[in-house]
Structure 1
Amino acid sequence: MPSPAVRRRRTEVLSSAERADDADELFAVTSARLRRVVAFDAAVWSATDPETGLVTAPMRVENLGGGEHCAAYWESEILGENSVPFRDLARAAVPAARVGHGPGRPWQGENLELRAVLRTGRRPWGVVSLFRFQAPFGAEELEFVAGLSAPLAVRLRSFARRAEARSLPDAPGPGLVLFDPSGEATSINEEARHYLARLPDGPYASTALGVRLPIWIVTAALQARFTPSSVSARVRIRTVDGRWLVCHASSLSGPGGSSGPIVLVIEPAATSDVAVIVAEAYELSPRELEITQLVALGMTTGEIAGRLFISPHTVRDHIKAVFGKVRVSSRGELVARLYAVGLSAVGLSAVGRFAVGQEVVTKPDS
């Protein structure tokens, strides 16, 4: 049982997090408050894609030098060089661990990194690494940081509820970045430059192409380069104006099965790309999400019941539960709240009657 002093410090850290308006501020205020309890020399805070676990924006790096150093850190993570990778912590009983590092790092030695996955259930919404250059982290400090995992993840998750209703009127076609087998960026189209210009500030890796690639883009390419094809190299990223992009990378084969280039695609996220994140943010069950998606397609209660082989009464119960979680009172409000971000991708025809506000769709049992 934590002592009263530990509980008080935990409350102070989490109170700061609760007052944050976005993930950037959450990382900044939590790091500043946490440093008073668990001293550290450097830190990395990053949001993650809750489905793939890959890092995404925003990312906050404190006292670790340039982007190249940060890129090397994430490369070691993808390569599995760290004794306790984040992907294992996402599934571990305790979502935090002390990690040692070999020569070549300012924090080389045993237990000089304390890392944690910020997770709800097994969904990772962020990661944090704290570093010391000399004194190792202790067991009590590990326990304290582990105790912050779930509440910080819940706060991060809540920011995904903010759907952006505006479309991307000037969105070009897919952006393409080509990497050679060694991981160097060799080609880029103008569409990719357009999307990169919309991404938030953060650590970058320099290239010979005249652009700097954000670390979360580089990490997706590294994932495609070093991991099996069954592991998704896909991450969703929010632009500076709140719109969603999806970035996915694939490793191509050369002659005779040799390693070929890596192609990375950046494009506006479709409604289906954002649906899982928004559903998680509102804590919708898989069945509730499924019904909500059918509601967004304009299906009536009877049509949904027939599609899913359940009774209309069960459908109404699910819709009522969704209304309560999302805090809306009509189907039209529900679609606007959850899927406005993707209306440009699915078109008005896909949302049917909800877009024009016919009275029949404002009732749960329609």
Structure 2
Amino acid sequence: MTDPRRHAEVMSAAERAGDALELFGRVSARLRRLVPFDAAVWTATDPETGLVTAPMLVENLGSGEGCGAYWESELLEENVLPFRDLTHAAVPAAGLRAATGDLPARSARFRRLLGDQGVDDELRAVLRIGGRPWGVVSLFRMRGRTAFGQNEIALLATLSGPLADRLRRFARPSGSGRQGGASAPGLLLFDDYGEATSINEEARRHLALLPDGPSIPSALGLSLPIWVVGTALQAQAIARGRDRGSARIRIRTVDGQWLTCHASCLSGPGGRPGPVALVIEPAAPADLAGIVAQAYGLTTRELEIAQLVARGLPTTEIAAALFISPHTVRDHLKAVFGKAGVSSRGELVAQLFTE
């Protein structure tokens, strides 16, 4: 049974955060008092794919190279409690020792990385709402500490939805960033071993706009953000049949614009998986509409109606375009107004489509 006071204590810290990175820092500091841990990883995820995106907070876990190995294991190896499974699990949090019957070496992540780093147990959770993952967290206890208990796991599970709701609010349009003019796509190539081998100048320019975070050195003369590397790893995972999802993330730049990063694995000799091609470019209108809809919790139909409102169509024309009644349009529009916190069509367009 979870103590409501502990839940409220963590959420009071979360509510004072001004952005996602501050959210992670405040929540981690408060949670550490209630669920003691020695190290942690907090990261936002793309709500469509579950892949890691900015920001990411890594506490007491060393270099970016180690971070790269952690996500490589997560995506490419057979592991216990992968985030992709927790996203759809009845309970979105679990402890490694509790899940393995106190045999954590059943997980490749523990055998390859955690055990050698002195980690004794890992408590991880997906921060999800409406079936979509907005972030993930891993808490670590070093050797000599007790395993995470059921009450501690339950507390983190109860925080999943409320923290996800806070994260998605930070993805809403701020009015401070506007998509720039046409820009050529950036291209990065990775070899069969996951090493970056080629890059064009457009990619360098896009990468320079990404926020700070864990990165991995490359032979190209620059360090690659873990979010970009993770997207390339996901393309490999799909090519190897380990996942049927999409190797794609959306990420906000330091000047408030949105970029889309997507990767695919090329075919090598004999049809074997070959190099990975990764494209990073300004987000298309459909990408922006999608992230806005998810950030406000709009349904597909509600987004369609909001977009038609933005085009200036009256209720009767919206009804005709969607083959529904004007009364149904008004009901959907009322729901959209409530979710966006507005009271008129003009306010709705300004609120949802400022970018």
TM-score, normalised relative to structure 1: 0.87
Listed as ranges, the matches of 1:1-366 within 5 Å are 1-2=1-2, 6-99=3-96, 100-101=104-105, 102-107=110-115, 112-134=121-143, 135=145, 136-164=147-175, 166-169=177-180, 172-227=183-238, 228=241, 230-341=244-355
Partner deviation per Cα, 1:125-167 (whole Å, 9 max, x = no partner): 1000001112221222111111111111111111122344643
* Same amino acid, percent of matched pairs: 65
Q: Answer whether contact 1:107 1:131 (CA < 8 A) is retained.
A: no
Give the root-mean-square deviation of aligned CA atoms. Answer: 1.9
Whole-Å separation in 2 of the counterparts to 1:61 and 1:324: 36
Counterpart in the other structure of 1:351 = none
Look up the equivalent residue of 2:113 and give its one-letter code.
R
Report the secondary structure of 1:313's partner residue: helix
Question: How far does residue 283 in structure 1 lie from its aligned partner after superposition?
Answer: 2.1
Question: How far does residue 57 in structure 1 lie from its aligned partner after superposition?
Answer: 0.2
Whole-Å separation in 2 of the counterparts to 1:169 and 1:288: 27
Whole-Å separation in 2 of the counterparts to 1:53 and 1:199: 19
Greater RCO between the two (CA within 8 Å, min separation 6)? Answer: 2
Question: How far does residue 280 in structure 1 lie from its aligned partner after superposition?
Answer: 2.3
Partner deviation per Cα, 1:323-342 (whole Å, 9 max, x = no partner): 2221223323222221221x
Q: Answer whether contact 1:117 1:149 (CA < 8 A) is retained.
A: yes
Number of aligned residue pairs: 338
Counterpart in the other structure of 1:353 = none
Whole-Å separation in 1 of the counterparts to 2:132 and 2:79: 21
Whole-Å separation in 2 of the counterparts to 1:305 and 1:71: 50
Whole-Å separation in 2 of the counterparts to 1:302 and 1:7: 48
Moved more, 200-209 or 140-149: 140-149
Partner deviation per Cα, 1:18-48 (whole Å, 9 max, x = no partner): 1101100000010011111111111000000
Whole-Å separation in 1 of the counterparts to 2:182 and 2:221: 22
Whole-Å separation in 1 of the counterparts to 2:339 and 2:114: 46
Question: How far does residue 171 in structure 1 lie from its aligned partner after superposition?
Answer: 5.8
Q: Answer whether contact 1:247 1:264 (CA < 8 A) is retained.
A: yes
Partner deviation per Cα, 1:274-294 (whole Å, 9 max, x = no partner): 222222222222211121122
Structure 2 unaligned spans of 5+: 97-103
Whole-Å separation in 1 of the counterparts to 2:287 and 2:336: 20
Partner deviation per Cα, 1:88-125 (whole Å, 9 max, x = no partner): 11111110011235444354689600000001131111
Whole-Å separation in 1 of the counterparts to 2:174 and 2:248: 20
Counterparts in 2 of 1:313 and 1:196: CA distance versus 1, 3 Å = same
Question: How far does residue 271 in structure 1 lie from its aligned partner after superposition?
Answer: 2.1
Report the secondary structure of 2:290's partner residue: helix
Whole-Å separation in 2 of the counterparts to 1:230 and 1:202: 27
